[in-house]
A and B are shown apart, each in its own frame.
Chain A
Amino acid sequence: MSQISSPAISLARVRIAELCVLALFGSLAFRGFYLATDGSEFLQNQANARMERTLTLPAERGRILDRNSEILAANEPAYDIWGTVSTIQGLKPKTKKALSDILGVPEVLFDERLKSTSKKYIPLARAMKLDSVNLLALSAIKGVDVRFSGQRSYPQGASLAPYLGTVNGNMQGVEGIERAFEGYLMGVNGQRTVLRDAKGRIIDQPLPTVEPVHGKDLHLTLDNFIQHEAYSVAQEAKAEHRAKSVSVVVLDPNTGDVLALASTLTQDPKEFKGTFPVNPAINQAFEPGSTFKPFTLATALDLKRTRIDEIFNVTSGSITITGKTVGDSHPSLVPLTLEGVLQKSSNVGTVMVGMRLSPLELYNTYEKAGFLEKPAPHLPSQSNGLVRNYKNWRPIEQATMAYGHGVGVSALQLARAYCAFAREDGQVPNLRITQDDPLNLRPLFSPDTVAKLRKMLQMAASSEGTAKAAQTDHYTVAGKTGTARKNQGGAYMQKYLSSFVGFAPANNPRVVVAVMVDEPTGAYYGGIVAAPSFSKIVSRVLPYLEVKPDIVAELSEGETVQNYAKKNR
């Protein structure tokens, strides 16, 4: 073989070149393998961070319905509008103007906002209502994303606003029922991961989606009709007496249902900003005044410290307890029976009875009547009353408490406690807010005592009592007025809180109504200010509840039913 002449160029060099190429390609293959296996997780995470976006699929909030399934709160369509800043800045001036017009923002401000942001993708408007024309127009503009989102609507308007509360921008309840039943109403949001291209547009590619769980509908025990009546009566009373506010509570004593819970507002519900207006019926504790007296008398009757026909000499018009004097505003000229004490609302008589009881006995009554607890445990920011511990009571304090001063209760607490008088068995029901709430009863007074009290309260609302104005044409009523001077910072002022709590029909009560007029101007006696509202509510609500009238009209001779109705309308 040595004979074969070698080529002019050494093939060894060619071999080396080949091996170099082989080695370089081999190392590229190794690098590629590393990137595809070990390095891939880190790289994929980096890629996902830029390419994936997680969208929230909002769960629809449950509706709030009344006892007849009328809608009190629902959701209505609204749209969140998002924009890619650079794309919008590159739009034609005409398109840009159209965009700012639809958004309702002056063009200059709109431009300013686009310039000032450092983000690529910003929200342009939230929860915006759009008609179909504007919706189409917006969707057609490049760089603008229109996303569906709900908005809460309250078709009943202001009448229910303080009770239902409201939601914030993220559809979370912040007040009232909305907050109390947040967990029930709100659903669980779903999630959808989408891929997007470098210009922020979503690429349609199937990725795992978590479907949202929508919130459940909440069925309240509230009756929308009664609520409206209560609200309109409250509004009328507020206008008539130029009061600061009027609150009305309507309860069903047999079931503990809250049929209406109305307050007049000082603010339009659509313009709520910052703090939500308080619901005085729930949130505000006031000195109940004379409306508290039946509890003192009933306790004494229950414990047999007095009889219904016992006579109290109240002609002096005042009584002195440990050096302090308690007086009546309209002293009676004759001694009064126990019935008369309540009918004429005598402070002196009540103190005489009240001082026969030990502090613990009175305190027990208050505790069982629910003045020390929140009347409806769900509802937020309720007042749980202002009753001090009986161990610290001085005798004069016990005396004033007996006729409803030096304590604080809310209208809801008071109405609930009056259910004991309205029920045959003298038990206090718990308040049922929703139809799912169970009914629990707590004994307060004996049936015998309650029957006596009901009669006494009916007399108090009779023509001889302090609350003539509470009477209605067709139904017997029972109830007690209350007038308390407001105490601010320890001093009593020339401001009053007039109230009336009662029930109807007197013999077989179907509703308990509490009316509270805060700071009326002019007349301030509960019998004049609050009782007419009670009368109006009862005469409108009981026919609605299909309750048979228990006052039979006596037709004069030759008068027809139609004529009678026309005359009395």
Chain B
Amino acid sequence: MLRKTAKAIDIFVYNIFVQFTRVYGIFDRPWQTKNLLFLLLCLSGSSIVFIYSASLSTSSENGGWGAAYMVKQLIYFFIGFVLLSALQKVPLERVRQLNLFFMVVTLLCLIAVLIPGIGRTVNGASRWIGFGLFNVQPSEMAKLSMAIFMADFCTRKRETIRSTNPLYMRSVLIPLVVVLSSYGALLLLEPDFGSTSVVFIITLGLMAVAGLRKRLIMVMALVAATGASVLIVTSPYRVQRFLGFMDPWADPYGKSYQLTHSLMAYGRGELFGTGLGTSLEAQFYLPEAHTDFISSIIAEETGFLGIILLLMGLLFLVMQCFAIGRAAIKQDKLFAGLLCMGIGIWFAFQTVVNLGVAMGSLPTKGITLPLISYGGSGIISNLVALGMVLRANWENTHQTGSTANVLMDLRRGKKVTYSDWDAELENKIKILKDPQQKTKKTVEEPQNYLNRTDLVAADKRKFIKKAK
């Protein structure tokens, strides 16, 4: 009897495991570009719809144009998609080359935003640089720039990161601390705690993926936690927000006003929502309904169903970034792979924090929902990042990226350790190393071709036969 029960439980658990791996399997393979674009269009379409719903009352007050925010967001999406398309023609190696330039521009913008004449201050935080018609938020640039920098940094230092090399301090920690602290300090001066945490999470995540030792991951996480708590304790408004999060119903008209109204929106939505355009919280109750708290309006109008669809959409997007990154890593395109991973981590973190805040699971923090919340800089930087991911996906299936990668490293005078260059590339290297030497026909090594994902199965079989 007991044995039978144990066996039944065993089979049950095993079945669940099998089902889970089957479901989880859908994240394993990178989709085709058109599928990803369709997902992107779904998310941006819902962004337009809910921004209209959330901002209609506030923007039409005092005779304003009700659709103002929606149309602006449409324009941002348009610009973003144009940039995304343009990026498809730019090799990621080119992006890597421009890394330093990006960093310098970002740092300059981050400094400029702190200068009273240039930076625009809203609610005590100077986060925007005004350019007349439009405003630029340098912190969004910082996130993207950090992802590119870390991808490049981890690619170059991957051996050192993994090892217990005595040079560790000099070659990894010092540059990392310098970059991170300059970004962090400038962002905290705005102040923008949310972007600082995003930048830090991208750093930590990419270091961990690149193979940072577990003990050091713990140390970094501890440093981050300590830093965050010090920042909370030293600033009174953050203390207030934290207390408001701990017990929202203690002061629902004061410090927890926004949080309680967000929770009410979730409660009002129930499972299937009150219907599109019927949000009451958008009737001046919930502040920042179209930016940080857009998910509350989605929850109120479409209920848990809408939230679960939103979560699934963003989850697929993040998992696609990871899958494309994984595929690139498999092809030893480390920069592209780590860049995709960094962007995935960035999106995942913002989604989790934004929704966690709106649902009262995390302390109130101004972080936008990627691709959904209103904001030009955020939308454009998100789409530029996704443009790079799509380019990586393209490069995974077309070998040019790999060639450029190797050539780049060779030009910098570094030792090339990639395992899967093709015959053509090998020739080029030889010409580079010894221009006098004439081209020689090389023998293709079968095991390298086995590892290539872009070849069809028939080709692989052909090579294996040849080798035998």
Contacts and interface: CB of A to CB of B under 8 A. Distances in A.
Given A5-B419, A17-B341, A28 B355 contact: yes
B299 interface: yes
The DSSP consensus for interface residues of chain B is helix
A350 B307 CA distance: 100
B237 interface: no
A28 B57 CA distance: 29
A37 B270 CA distance: 6
A14 B341 contact: yes
B285 A8 contact: no
B26 to A, nearest CB: 12
A360 interface: no
Contacts, number: 153
A46 B260 contact: yes
Interface stretch (A18-26, A54-62, A69-77): A18-26
A35 B348 contact: no
Interface in B158-210: 158, 205, 208-210
Nearest to A14: B326
Nearest to A35: B266
Given A3-B447, A7-B330, A203-B283, A25 B351 contact: yes
B57 A197 contact: yes
Contact of A28 (B263, B330, B352, B450): B352
A40 B273 CA distance: 12
Nearest to A9: B329
Chain A contact patch, size range: 35 or more
Interface string B266-288: 11111100000000110111000
Contact of A43 (B210, B268, B361): B268
B280 A195 contact: yes
Interface in B121-155: none
B113 interface: no
B264 interface: yes
Interface stretch (B4-12, B31-39, B317-325, B426-434): B317-325
A219 to B, nearest CB: 49
Contacts of B158: 8-9
B91 interface: no
A543 interface: no
Nearest to B24: A22
Contacts of A40: 266-268, 270
Interface residues of B, number: 63
Nearest to A45: B267
Interface in A24-49: 24-25, 27-29, 31-33, 35-37, 39-44, 46-47
Interface string B336-350: 011001001100100
A44 B57 contact: no
A28 B356 contact: yes
A115 interface: no
Contact of A203 (B264, B280, B307, B352): B280
Nearest to A199: B284
Contact of A32 (B308, B352, B420): B308
Interface of B: 24, 27, 57, 158, 205, 208-211, 249, 252, 260, 263-271, 280-281, 283-285, 299, 303-304, 307-308, 311, 314-315, 318-319, 322, 325-326, 329-332, 334, 337-338, 341, 344-345, 348, 351-352, 355-356, 359, 361, 417, 419-420, 447-448, 450-451
29 contacts: A7-B332, A9-B158, A9-B209, A13-B208, A13-B209, A17-B344, A21-B322, A21-B344, A21-B348, A21-B352, A25-B311, A28-B356, A32-B299, A35-B266, A35-B267, A36-B270, A36-B271, A36-B299, A37-B271, A37-B304, A40-B267, A42-B267, A43-B267, A44-B264, A46-B267, A51-B280, A51-B285, A198-B285, A203-B283
